[in-house]
Chains A and B, each alone.
Chain A
Amino acid sequence: MDDEMAFHLDMATEENMQKGLSSEDARRRAKTDFGGIAQTKEACRDLWILEKINQFWKDFRNGFRQLNRFPSQSIISILSLAMAIGLFATLFSVIDKLLLSGMPFENPDELYYITWEASEGGFRPNISLQDFADFRKHQTSFTDIAAIRGAYITLNESGEMAYRYRSSMVSENFMEVLQVKPLLGSGFQKGDSYSGGEMSIILNERIWEEQFNRDPEIIGKKIFTGDKLYTVRAIVSNSFRFLTGAVESWKGEIPRRVENMPRNGGIPTWLTYGRLKPGVSVDQAEADFKSIAASLKEQYPKINAGRDSVNIRPLIEYYMSDNMRNLLILLQVAVLVVLVGACINIAILRASQAANRISEFAARSALGASPRQVFNQIIIESLGIGLLSSIIGLSIALYGIRGAQWWMNNSVFWPSEITVELNRSALAVGLTLGIIASVGASLLPAIKVYGLDIIKYLREGKGSVSSFTTGHLVRGFVVTQVALSFAVLVGMFIMLQIFLNLNRKQLPYDPDDFLTAQMLFYPTYYPSVKERGAKMEEVLESMKAIPGVKNAAMSFRASLSSAYSGEAIIEGVVYQDQSDYPSLSCRVVTQDYFDMLNIKLLEGRLFTHFDTHDSNKVVIVNQAMAARFWPNESAIGKRLKNPENQFADEWMTIVGVIQNLPERGIRLLNTNVPCYYMLSRQHMLALWEVVLECRGDPEKYAQPMREALAKVDNSLGLMYIRPVKNDFGQQAFQLTFVTRLFTAFGAITFLLSLIGIYGLFSSYVSQRIREYCIRYALGANARNIWQMIAKQGAVLTAIGLLFGLVNGYGVFLWLKEVFPLFVYASHFYFLLALSLVVTTAFAAIFFPARKAITVNIANVLRSD
């Protein structure tokens, strides 16, 4: 346009100069006569843009009219693509956050946790307090490191009833490292918790409300927690939970403990974490810690024997085992495959639709539409599908994310630190792929139409157009969809079965019937084993007297869902040093424990009244422990001891062997964990889990439990009262979550496959309508046509099922390897999957076939 206007002005100027004007005047006159070049250009541009918009709007409207002409295929295309996009974006976002950094802290990808390197059995031991202090002093890779360990406090501000709350002992910098801001106060002060400084504590909102009525003057107040006075330094939100579970208070105790506690090894129990410095890699940090570990080992050869190097892992992995991470990564890949599959589905559907409409486009060209207009029409129709699918897919993704977050927030099993949001890249990938598939599929027919010789086509008919058939593609894809559906269904049924049987197969009792709580017998109040044992018996009798309670027992420190980790020294085995002690599970339980939980005795006897505080120390082992240490003989009469200080290093005689239980939690999927059980009244221990077997909903026994305890001793308090099923749920939340994800994924993928099979087969049949009509005209009847279509469909389905069987078996073998205890060789999965796929294929054949045999033959043949 600029060139054109410039030429015009030049010509006008020349003419004016010929009339006698100077070049300047001539130019000026030419511009004046033109009357506004800019306005003219603007007017032309407006015309052009308006024209484009008008044309686009016409093609867009026409496109949607075309969608209405083939409503079922349009709906199938749009819905399946939308669901695939939504599923992809949702699952990808959820898994991405789980695998990466879903924790609501500043720069959570900088947070790592530190353990000693994995030992036998894959355990990564935590750090001891003194080692933590030395690491902290000498390390240079982290901006700072902090430590945390579980604890408890007792508060009785009202004076009426003591409440126990879960707590943690922490280093004074634990909030700075996380960069968490409290609701009130500013956190621990400099010098807190060191000798001469204040013993300080941080509380959560719940304690602030229950014990202090949200007193606004709480900061700086001194409170008594059962054994010490602490100064309140901050109040944090109830939603703040970190590493040690549903903890409600944090005591800044580490500095003073480090100062006062001798370096004596023992079992390291401190969770250590830190914020890696920018630019420092994990390898560099591990090397840094390794050199510190080497010098510690040199200084303390006995205590630090075997402690050579550390593992530094992203903190998010604390919640996610390697197995689960691998499964989730696999699920991400699977979801992407589903999305690509749905896109190919759409592409084939669109391509075959467009190919069927070549005559329509030819007619439109003959009526005056330019090739460009017809090309645009096809592309815009596809764009409409792509856009509509994208909008619906985005809505599905947004609701999906909200649903996932709601489930996490309302599930007690979920660590509330993890939040989920829509991953924009995943959404962009989904939307882009969807639009590319939809538009790209129509390109080939659109290009064909663009170069079509209309006269030749209309004169000679379809034969003059080089054949563009998607028949082979459609057939191939029907087979693929059937095979995929079958394999997905097999996997889904297996995951469903795992989910339903998570607890049942491994436990001799039903966790839904049990309530548990923690209580503490302070050594200062019960200085002897005999006194404490008597008090425990009294408490248990009081609990058993609660109406509706069937039985009661106690277990030291560990809930039913998981025993605690300990070591053992087996008599007759020679150990070089304590790093050689086998790492096992162990429990200390009251006499009725086994009876209450229906645990089967396999050999010997259970604990009896004759096993008193001053008789010979006795122990019971499980079948796995007996098999491991005494494989060729009976374990009865053998002896072992627990090297921890609190067990006084005394030999205990094995009196019984019981069945295996999942003492390391359902999560680890292995009940064959060696475990031994000591008797409560023979050991001086403070923290206990009280377990009640109840009739009906166990949660309604919480208050009666408190009252029953208060009747025995008002100074004793219960903390962390919860149903036992919550513990199992927490243990298994990873597995539960993953199986639910897989199940949801399987269900949606099957639905997509179902839609895909129907859409493809419907398209396949409609491409052959003319052929069927010709057969009718030549004498075939409806039954013949029906048989022909059914046979075609059956052959494709059978081939698909053959491939599906192979894939399904592969899925079964893989899942059996990952979950050996839950997956059984069963024809059930395959039969159920087979029946569902065959039913789907039948529906996919029946409806298009019905349409084919009821079509108006004359209209179809005439239209050609």
Chain B
Amino acid sequence: MADKTNDLLQGALELLILRTLQNESRHGWGILKRIEQISKDELVIHQGSLYPALYRLEKNGDIKSAFGLSENNRKAKYYSLTKAGEKRLEQEVATWGKFARAVRLILKFA
């Protein structure tokens, strides 16, 4: 749903971006559509939040960018994961996994 953007999603946005870039480079629009597609439209990213997140990741050195031609021959800025980004993704996935298990346990047994 288009309005299901919450604080939790905001916090995980960078993680989601890193994950979508793990296997191939994408432009901003592509990242957006990939997240919507994989989450079956459950996660709709506020477009205004995407680009600041991309800039933060790029400044941190987790992703890098370069201009190229899109599938419809338009000039687009493509992002790809760096080695530092791969490392961070691995760490964040592990952390997120622990967090998710902990929350599940609390919800089940608290």
Contact = CB atoms under 8 A, between A and B. Distances in A.
Q: Do A and B bind each other?
A: yes
Contact of A7 (B48, B55, B75): B75
Contacts of A12: 29, 47
Given A35-B48, A36-B48, A44-B51, 14 more contacts: A4-B27, A7-B27, A7-B29, A8-B47, A12-B29, A12-B47, A14-B72, A35-B46, A40-B52, A43-B52, A44-B52, A47-B55, A47-B56, A48-B59
B97 interface: no
Interface of B: 27-29, 46-48, 51-52, 55-56, 59, 61, 67, 70, 72, 74-77
A33 interface: yes
Contacts of A5: 51
A40 B74 contact: no
Interface string A29-60: 00001111001100110011001000000000
Contact of A43 (B48, B70, B74, B76): B48
A4 B58 CA distance: 15
B56 A7 contact: no
A289 B48 CA distance: 81
Contacts of A51: 59
Given A3-B77, A4-B76, A34 B48 contact: yes
A11 interface: yes
5 A-B pairs with least C-beta separation: A11-B29, A35-B48, A34-B47, A4-B77, A40-B48
Contacts of B55: 44, 47-48
Contacts of A34: 47-48
B9 to A, nearest CB: 15
A224 B65 CA distance: 94
16 contacts: A4-B51, A5-B51, A7-B70, A7-B74, A7-B75, A7-B76, A8-B29, A10-B74, A11-B29, A11-B70, A34-B47, A40-B51, A40-B52, A43-B48, A47-B56, A48-B55
A23 interface: no
Quick one: which of A3, A11, A48 has the most chain B CB within 10 A?
A11
B61 A370 contact: yes
B42 to A, nearest CB: 17
Contacts, number: 53
A680 B56 CA distance: 98
A105 to B, nearest CB: 60
Nearest to B29: A11
Nearest to A4: B77
A11 B47 CA distance: 13
A34 B74 CA distance: 19
Contacts of A14: 72
B56 to A, nearest CB: 6
A768 to B, nearest CB: 39
A48 B46 CA distance: 20
Contacts of A43: 48, 51-52
A3 B70 CA distance: 13
Contact of B77 (A7, A10, A47): A7
Given A12-B29, A44-B55, A47-B56, A35 B47 contact: yes
Nearest to A30: B47
Nearest to B46: A35
B26 to A, nearest CB: 12
A40 B28 CA distance: 13
A309 to B, nearest CB: 75
A12 B74 CA distance: 13
Contacts of B46: 35
A853 to B, nearest CB: 46
A47 B47 CA distance: 17
A4 B30 CA distance: 12
